[in-house]
Every structure is written in C-alpha cells, then in structure tokens.
Chain A
Amino acid sequence: MKSRPNWPAGLFAVAWLVIVLGPLVYVLTASLRSRADYLTSGTLAVPENPTLDNYTTVLTGGFAQYLLNNVIVTVATVAIVVLVGVPCAYAVVRGTGRFVQRGFTLLLAGLAIPAQAAIIPVYLLITRMHLYDTLTAIILPTAAFALPVATLVLTNSLRDVPRELYEAQAIDGAGSFRVLVSLVLPLARPAIMTVVVYTALNAWNGFLFPLVLTQSQSSRVLTLGLWNFQGQFGTNIPALMAAVTLSVLPIFVVYLIGRRFLLSGLTAGFGK
C-alpha cells in the first residue's frame, strides 16, 4: 500500500509519546535525587548530583525479600496452571466424557467472576485451611483465577491440531499419556508460552489476594512492598521511585529479551 506520511497522526503519536514517556523519565530521574533536593528544587528538576543512595536504601529495606517472594509466587502459580491446565485442555479437546465438557462450561463461566467478588469467601477458606499469611495463600487462588483463560487458550490451540496426528499416534499404539507428552506438549508450545506469560504477569502484579491474605513482612510480595515503602519512606519520594524502578526492572529485562512472547501473553489470545 502506497502512503503519504500521515502528519496529524504523527503529531498525535508524538504527543502520546510525551504522555507515556514523561512519567517514566520522571521515575528514573527522581530516583537519582536526594530527598532534600527533591523537596526544594521541584518535582521535575534534573538531578544535579545524581546519587544511588536511594537504591541502597531500598535494597537494604527488605526489597530482596519481597522480590524473592514475588518470584516464588510467580513460579509456583505458573507451574500449577501449566501442570493442571494442559492435561485439562487435552481432556476437553480429545476426551469423550460428558463430565469433562460440563466442567469446561463451568470453567468458562469463571471468566466472568471478578476476583474482588470472591475475596471475602476466599479469605474465609484460606483462614480455615490455616494458610493465612503464607505465600501458598496467594498462590492457590491466583492460580485458580488464571485457569479459565489458560484453559481456553490451550483448548483453542489444541483444537487446531489435525486429527490425523492423533490417529497416527494411535496406530503406533501410544497411550493417552504418551500422546500428551510426545504430541500435545510440543504442538501446544506457543499456547503454553502465552499461558505462562499471562499467568506470570497476573501473579507478578497481583495485589488484592496478597493484600487480604497475607500480612507479615516475611510473606510480603513486591506490589504490597511498594505500597508499604510509601509509609516507610514518607516524603522520601526519590526512594519510593527507586523502589518503583527496581520493581519494574525484572519485567523490563523480559521485555527486552522476548518482546513478542510478552505481548502475546499479555493479550492472552484476545488479540486474535
């Protein structure tokens, strides 16, 4: 398609660039300033004597613990979702039982349940299971609420697998487990990647479950840690911005390495 440069759109894009990038630049520059400088020279001033002190403050203020907790929660949630989601999707697509189809319908209805609406009973369940204030308390419901989307993405991808491939495996005498391992897993790999990214982002950035289901510093995750830093640092806004920067860093690295995977996981199939 031939096209002249689209000036109005270009201008709009540049304006949007400022809106998007401005605050991010602010976070970075603010994090390099001292508290006194920030409070007297204004919000947007350029750091005159850039300092990394704020990063030291954050890193010695429990950040490593929060980060580790976040990693544990994320990895465990993803592991659960993939481990139970893939066999489930396989059973839904290739299984014959009515039970599975009904269950799947129910699972899809779960797409419409907001986590907010479930938080009080989930809190009740978690406390009765004696899991309150543990990382497990975050992991279990987070995984459960990621399952509907995950299973949907996986079933959609498995439905695209030609029936002949399954039949060829059957002729070889493969049982259902071998089919799962040698056929389903490799073919569903892109979908699994999508599910991994989608679940990981949800777990990484989760707020409500950790907020209600944990409280001690030892089980605090990053999002809550950030919020907590706010009370801890007071008007030391540069330190808070350093904490924000550090919290974004891991995801930013993933973005640099695998942008396509990250973006496709974000839209989790909605972008088709």
Chain B
Amino acid sequence: MQSQRPSSWYAVPAFAFFGLFAALPMVLVVYLSFTSWQGLGTPTFNGVANWSRLISDGEAHASMGRTLLLMVVSWAVQTPIALLIGVWAAGKQRSRAVLSSIFFLPLLLSTAAIALLWQALLDSNFGIFAGGPQFLGDPDIAIYTVVFVISWQYIPFHTLLYQGAARGIPASLYEAAIIDGAGRFGRFFNITLPQLRYTIVTSSILMLVGSLTTFDTVLILTQGGPGTASRIIPLHMYITGFSGFEMGYASAIAVLLVVLGTALSVIVTRATGFRAMSSQQEGS
C-alpha cells in the first residue's frame, strides 16, 4: 500500500519555486531593512537606522494615514453595493442574469486599462468634468477618486462572491419566513445577511488587504498626487525605492507592509471567529 503513496519529491518543485521567489525574498527584505543600499553596488549594514527613520518620517506616517483612510472608505463603499447587487443578481429572473453578465465586465479589464480610462475621463482639461470639480487635481478629493476607481474595478468581483453565496442559501428558509409574514426587509436582515456572514468576512479581508496593497491604480491615475495627497504606503515604498533609490529604507517600509497585511488578516479572522483562508491576490 505504501508504495502507491506519492513520495515527498512530488512537492519539491513547488516548494523550491515558492521558496526561492516568495519565502526567500521575505527573509531578504528583513535583512535589507537593516542595510543601506542605493541600488548600485552591494548593500551595507547600517543597523536600525532605517527603522528609526521610519518612526520619525512624517511622510511615512501621512502615507499610513491615507492607506487606512483608503482601506476604511473603500470597504464601506464596496461592501453594501456588492452585497446588494450580489443578492439581487442571485435571483433567477432572466433580466437579472443578463444585467449581471454586464456587471461583471469591469473584471475583464486590467488595472492599467482601468486607470488609464478613468484618467482620460476625469482629465481636468479634456475630461467630462473639465472646468468643474478637480477629481484628480484637488488634494482633498484625489484619494476619494482613487476609492471610486478601485470600487468600480472590484465591486464586480465581490458581487460575484455574494451572488454565489446568496444562491447557496436554502430556499426553504425564505419560504418559512414568508409563511411567518416577514417582509422583504425582514427577510433580508433576518435570513440573507446572517447566511452571508462568512462571505462578508472573506470579502472584507480581500478588500482590506487589497486596499492595503493598492499600487497600479494610484501609480497610473495620480502618481500619488497631487503633491502627496494620494501617496499610500505601497507607492511611498516604490517611490523611495525606485525613484530615490533608498532600497534599504524602502525595505523597512515593505516589512511594515507585510506585518500590517498579516496582522489585518489575523485580526479580522479572530474578531469574527472565522477561520477560513485569509488571502489576497496581487494588486487586488
């Protein structure tokens, strides 16, 4: 019987691959965060200089604040919309099927395409609001524009999650509620929402960690601007590392990003008593 069991060698290529390009970099990034490296030559050890700088770097703190704002607001915007549309799209009516297949269209565009499209639409000279509100140029608005574009891109994804989950709710629950005289709102709050609680947690983790690591959208749409008004942590890391070429300091910011991402998943999971996979997709 044992001979038929796959040997451990079957797993080695995958582990080696993952180890080299994902696990090893995590070790390296921690190491680099204790070095000074300008991109040229080799990194030199400089103790905790990067870390003490991170503690006192006003721009890093501000980026942090913007990141939190982005996470909270985009969660608050996306969740109700995705939930409502998802539940609605779960209905069996033909019109809903047709409409929801259109709703999923933004999923087909790359982040780069979406950012370029909205940038053209919102251009302050040749866009639809030319002469009006400065959606990309006003420092007080820009980050909310980023939230909007992110929402436009990802609500369809979360709608998909909710649609799948809502379809899995046993019809008998609703039938019983109707017999009890529950109205539409009653059914939504007493049956649909509780039944979707695991999906809400999964979707929320994906959203929060996704916003934490937002990068492409901001880089193309606002370059973190105007000024630094939409410069969030991943972009701050990128600019520090690949424009200022302070790779060591940028690594310290990267470590912070990992810690935050992991902590976030753990906190949400614990707080909701939900032990499912916590994950994220690149850039989502």
Contacts and interface: CB of A to CB of B under 8 A. Distances in A.
Direct contact of A and B (CB under 8 A): yes
Interface stretch (B58-66, B69-77, B138-146, B159-167): B159-167
A178 B34 CA distance: 49
| Contact residues on A (Cβ < 8 Å of other chain), bracket | 35 or more
Contacts of B130: 43
Interface string A118-140: 11111011000000000000001
A80 interface: yes
Q: Is the interface of A mostly helix, strand, loop or mixed?
A: helix
Contact of B7 (A80, A145, A151, A176): A176
Interface string B114-125: 001110110100
B113 A226 contact: yes
B279 A24 contact: no
A7 B234 CA distance: 42
A266 B107 contact: yes
A24 to B, nearest CB: 6
B116 A244 contact: yes
A248 B109 CA distance: 6
B84 A121 contact: no
B104 A114 contact: no
Given A87-B13, A114-B261, A272-B164, A251 B108 contact: yes
A257 interface: no
B71 to A, nearest CB: 13
Nearest to A247: B113
Contact of A103 (B5, B15, B111, B251): B15
Contacts of A208: 215-216, 282-283
Contacts of B174: 1
B81 A16 contact: yes
A168 to B, nearest CB: 11
Nearest to B259: A117
Q: Is the interface of B mostly helix, strand, loop or mixed?
A: helix
B278 interface: yes
Contacts, number: 304
Contacts of B184: 6
Contacts of A235: 126
Interface in B1-60: 1-11, 13-15, 17-18, 20-26, 28-29, 32
A96 to B, nearest CB: 6
B207 to A, nearest CB: 12
B271 interface: no
B128 A43 contact: yes
A167 B132 CA distance: 71
Interface of B: 1-11, 13-15, 17-18, 20-26, 28-29, 32, 81, 84-85, 88, 91, 96, 99, 101-113, 116-118, 120-121, 123, 126-128, 130, 152, 156-157, 160-161, 164-165, 171, 174-175, 178, 184, 202-203, 206, 209, 212-213, 215-216, 220, 234, 237-238, 241-242, 247, 250-251, 254-255, 257-258, 261-262, 265, 277-283
13 contacts: A1-B174, A9-B84, A43-B123, A80-B17, A99-B11, A106-B23, A125-B25, A140-B20, A147-B22, A180-B10, A207-B216, A208-B283, A259-B101
